[in-house]
């Protein structure tokens, strides 16, 4: 073998090894359970808000009685923890609340309080690989959607007359959209997604570029390698996390919410998923709102929109 060929071959092998190592490091950072504050520090959902506009909702939730600890063991053996809070007056209506990336169910307390105030039973759960739930890998909505289908089955086993709305924010919004395309039971009547992403690939390319300055032409092959790691270790590939494809399969009502200045899940994504949605749909874009700020920025408008949407589609 000529010297030049050896050098070229060695360079190629070195490049491949470098890609594999970098992709492994990124996979660990974004998908393996652990502290994700390095990601969240760049957006409002991970910041400490000095004067939280939703403080009243959080205080009201502390006064809600009869919070019941619940648990679920999924088909793959993962133990999940949550809370079930019955409505003040007996009802068949239940809101399944799904939190986002790097947090736990407490992130959803203001939204849970909103639904409880509107007369709903509420289910709050820590996603797999979050809070008190087990799990080593974050599913970016795919694994979580399958888990919440099992939570929904549990609710229906307890009350076959359940009328369920699935409501998620950020990663929970993506989970909501993915679940909508998984043919959930007929008792699921409607969906609300707030600042969910179009697909895992598109979101990771965006984050790689904006948070770490990785050019898209570099990010794409790295993410493809990460997807292979994910398929082997976590049981799903990134191509399976496609909210656009999921909402095309859903024929039930969905409310899409986003801030037009979202710098974590870019605002244009809400238009892509809304346009793709098959079933009855509504959209609310809040001017000036960054990630997870739509509710905080205009509380009365947000609450009115959620209430009016559900009044149309929940019996």
pLDDT at 45: 43
9 token code pair: 């071959």
pLDDT at 127: 98
User: Cα separation of 83 and 173, whole Å?
Assistant: 19
User: Cα separation of 96 and 165, whole Å?
Assistant: 6
User: Cα separation of 187 and 258, whole Å?
Assistant: 26
Q: Is 8 helix (H, G, I), strand (E, B) or coil?
A: helix
Residue 61 contacts residue 113 (beta carbons within 8 Å): yes
pLDDT at 211: 83
Length of the chain: 315
pLDDT at 25: 85
pLDDT at 249: 97
User: Cα separation of 116 and 95, whole Å?
Assistant: 8
Q: 310: buried, middle or exposed (CB in 10 Å: 19+, 13-18, 0-12)?
A: buried
Q: What is the pLDDT along the chain (315 residues), one digit of tens a residue?
A: 666 665 656 565 665 777 788 888 888 888 998 887 766 554 444 444 467 999 999 999 999 999 999 999 999 999 999 999 999 999 999 999 999 999 999 999 999 999 999 999 999 999 999 999 999 999 999 999 999 999 999 999 999 999 999 999 999 999 999 999 999 999 999 999 999 999 999 999 999 998 888 899 889 999 999 999 999 999 999 999 999 999 999 999 999 999 999 999 999 999 999 999 998 999 999 999 999 999 999 999 999 999 999 999 997
Q: Which H or E element spans position 84?
A: strand 79-85
pLDDT at 10: 56
Q: Which of 200, 68, 74, 204 is CA-nearest to residue 135?
A: 74
247 token code pair: 């909402």
pLDDT at 146: 98
Q: What is the pTM of this model?
A: 0.92
User: Cα separation of 97 and 223, whole Å?
Assistant: 29
Residue 249 contacts residue 177 (beta carbons within 8 Å): no
Q: Is 3 helix (H, G, I), strand (E, B) or coil?
A: helix
Pairing of the two strands 254-259 and 188-194? parallel
Pairing of the two strands 79-85 and 121-125? antiparallel
DSSP 126: P
pLDDT at 14: 62
For residue 237, the tally of other CB atoms under 10 A from its CB is: 18
pLDDT at 178: 98
């Amino acid at each position: 073998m000529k010297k030049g060929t050896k050098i070229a071959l060695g360079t190629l092998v070195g490049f491949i090894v470098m890609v594999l190592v970098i992709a492994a490091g990124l996979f660990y950072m974004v998908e393996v359970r652990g502290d994700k504050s390095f990601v969240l520090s760049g957006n409002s959902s991970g910041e400490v808000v000095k004067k939280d506009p939703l403080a009243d909702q959080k205080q009201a939730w502390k006064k809600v009685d009869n919070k019941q600890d619940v648990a679920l063991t999924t088909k793959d053996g993962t133990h999940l923890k949550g809370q079930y809070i019955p409505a003040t007056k007996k009802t068949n209506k239940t809101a399944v609340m799904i939190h986002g990336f790097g947090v736990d169910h407490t992130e959803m307390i203001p939204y849970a309080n909103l639904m409880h105030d509107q007369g709903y039973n509420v289910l709050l759960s820590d996603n797999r690989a979050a809070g008190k739930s087990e799990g080593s890998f974050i599913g970016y909505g795919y694994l979580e959607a399958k888990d919440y289908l099992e939570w929904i089955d549990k609710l229906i086993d307890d009350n076959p007359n359940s009328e369920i709305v699935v409501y998620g924010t950020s990663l929970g919004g993506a989970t909501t959209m993915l679940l909508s395309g998984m043919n959930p039971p007929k008792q699921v009547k409607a969906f609300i997604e707030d600042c969910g992403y179009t697909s895992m690939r598109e979101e990771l390319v965006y984050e790689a570029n904006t948070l770490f300055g990785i050019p898209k032409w570099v990010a794409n092959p790295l993410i493809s390698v990460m997807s292979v790691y994910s398929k082997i270790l976590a049981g799903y590939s990134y191509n399976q996390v496609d909210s656009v494809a999921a909402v095309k399969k859903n024929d039930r009502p969905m409310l899409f919410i986003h801030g037009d200045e979202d710098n974590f899940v870019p605002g244009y994504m809400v238009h892509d998923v809304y346009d793709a949605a098959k079933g009855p749909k509504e959209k609310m874009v809040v001017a000036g709102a960054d990630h997870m700020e739509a509710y905080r920025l205009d509380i009365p408008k947000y609450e009115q929109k959620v209430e009016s949407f559900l009044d149309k589609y929940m019996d």
